[in-house]
Structure 1
Amino acid sequence: MAKKSQTWEWIKAIVIAVGLAAVIRYFFFAPILVDGVSMMPTLQDRDRMIVSKIGYRIGEPQRFDIIVFKATEDKDYIKRVIGLPGDRIEYKNDVLYVNGKAYEEPYLNDYKKQTTDGPLTYDFKLEEVTGQQTVPKGQLFVLGDNRRFSKDSRTIGTISMGQVIGKTNIVYWPLSDARIIKKP
């Protein structure tokens, strides 16, 4: 009888542990694998990160947050928030302008120095790439840090807040590159 009781206790403990892990992963945190070079040099292909799913249930995205969103039914993208609802976005001479004000993007400085054959980010206005003068309400304008090789809001348009899975800034693998990515 004691053997049966002990087995039952182990089964309950395992079921509770699996249930707790599922709840944490579904509602709070989840791992994600960086797939591709669109966020270089900030993120490398095959970096593994933690996505916080609770951040935007409490607050709103901020400019320069790195987010994960549902791009297609079976594909998630990792990009940087550049434009918030109501913003007018423009790039001119490799400089970001939001509502007419120039913004520095220090996370791109090293990459810009390496780029000798023209700007890292080609000139454009939000209206030219999305047909909108401002980022619509409930939408975000996102870009990859590797501006020349990123499928982002310049091609897929703005993304809705409903597509956003969460915010990410913790690289946990490879262990030698583990770090917290600070926002500028």
Structure 2
Amino acid sequence: MDRDTSQERRRRFPRRKVQMPLWQELPLLLVVAFCLAVLIRSFLLQAFFIPSGSMENTLLVGDRVLVNKIVYDVRDPKRGEVVVFRGPEAWAPQPVDDGNTSVLSKVSRTMGDLVGISRPGAKDFIKRVIAVGGDRISCCDDQGRVMVNGKGLDEPYIFDNSPLDVPPVPGECRSRQFAEVVVPPGQIFVMGDHRGVSQDARCQGPVPVENVVGRAFVVVWPQDRWANLSVPDTFDGIPPPDGGGEGGGAGTPPPGQESPVPGKGDIVVTMPIFASVLFLARSRRGLPDRQRRLRP
């Protein structure tokens, strides 16, 4: 009888679990959060710091952008998208040294690189895709515009365009003019929005798709600069390249198909981040809530 009473009491009033103290749980949560950040940075998203003015005024020096690192695992870059890529051997490196060589600065840069918030390397670039494999691109038409497959582009995002009256010089991007280039398959032709200072495919050549790190799809810092880096309608209606080729890009879709929604895939990729944050936020309060419901 006493044994039955004891078992009934334990069933009705279960023993409370001992919760780990905050000073012990907090370091564990920080380690988990850091590991998640490294995994996300390595496979999903990475924040890049803009070190130069080659993409002004779309991107300013000091802006931070989120880069989708898996979107091009399932498709190739499209015309009009802003991409981060590793410069080929022929591309001259860009200066990124901030002049601070202290041990603390080096450690902070290393930690920042692990979670994806540090400055890019000297061979990391960010530009806009103007043409894709198979496209014919040149400058200029009678209105001074870049031409892709015979169509002149009206590019409202350009800031301080290169001069028309400067003759092209091999290896230099000072002139707006450049001879027609047929972009090889598996490569992209990229240019900066600040054409007056950008060193890009005009003088350094196309970029292999395999060098692309990912698509920059949103400005996240500073807060007053938040903006979605969507594809402008400039690239609608570009005719396919002669002889077929890869082409495609962000041009007119085939009949019966709709154009993809800009950024839709990028938003889906961010879902694991929000799920991880929600899990960590609930881990502290979920157990006490359940315990309160079990109290008599």
TM-score interval (norm. to shorter): 0.7 to 0.9
**Residue 159 (1) aligns with residue 213 (2):** no
**Residue 125 (1) aligns with residue 141 (2):** no
Counterpart secondary structure, 1:80: strand
Cα pair distance change 1:3/1:175, threshold 3 Å: closer
Corresponding residue for residue 47 of structure 1: 63
Cα pair distance change 1:121/1:96, threshold 3 Å: farther
Corresponding residue for residue 22 of structure 1: 38
Rg larger for: 2
Which runs of 5 or more structure 1 residues have no equivalent in the other structure?
128-133
Which runs of 5 or more structure 2 residues have no equivalent in the other structure?
1-17, 88-92, 94-120, 166-173, 233-296
Q: Using the alignment, how far apart are the partners of 1:155 and 1:117 within structure 2?
A: 15
Corresponding residue for residue 136 of structure 2: 88
CA RMSD of aligned residues (A): 2.7
1:8-29: CA deviations, max 9, x gaps?
7655544332222111111111
AA in 1 matched with 2:65: M
Q: Using the alignment, how far apart are the partners of 1:9 and 1:70 within structure 2?
A: 40
Q: Using the alignment, how far apart are the partners of 2:53 and 2:228 within structure 1?
A: 19
**Residue 99 (1) aligns with residue 154 (2):** no
Cα pair distance change 1:22/1:89, threshold 3 Å: same
Deviating beyond 4 angstroms after TM superposition, the runs of 4 or more aligned structure 1 residues are 2-12, 115-121
**What displacement does 1:154 show?**
1.7
Q: Using the alignment, how far apart are the partners of 1:34 and 1:172 within structure 2?
A: 12
Q: What is the TM-score of this pair, normalised by structure 1?
A: 0.81
1:105-149: CA deviations, max 9, x gaps?
1222xx36xx6965796121244xxxxxx1111111100011120
1:176 to 209, 215, 224: 224
Corresponding residue for residue 35 of structure 1: 51
Cα pair distance change 1:172/1:5, threshold 3 Å: closer
Cα pair distance change 1:118/1:91, threshold 3 Å: closer
Corresponding residue for residue 130 of structure 1: none
The structure where strand makes up a greater share of residues is 1
AA in 2 matched with 1:67: V
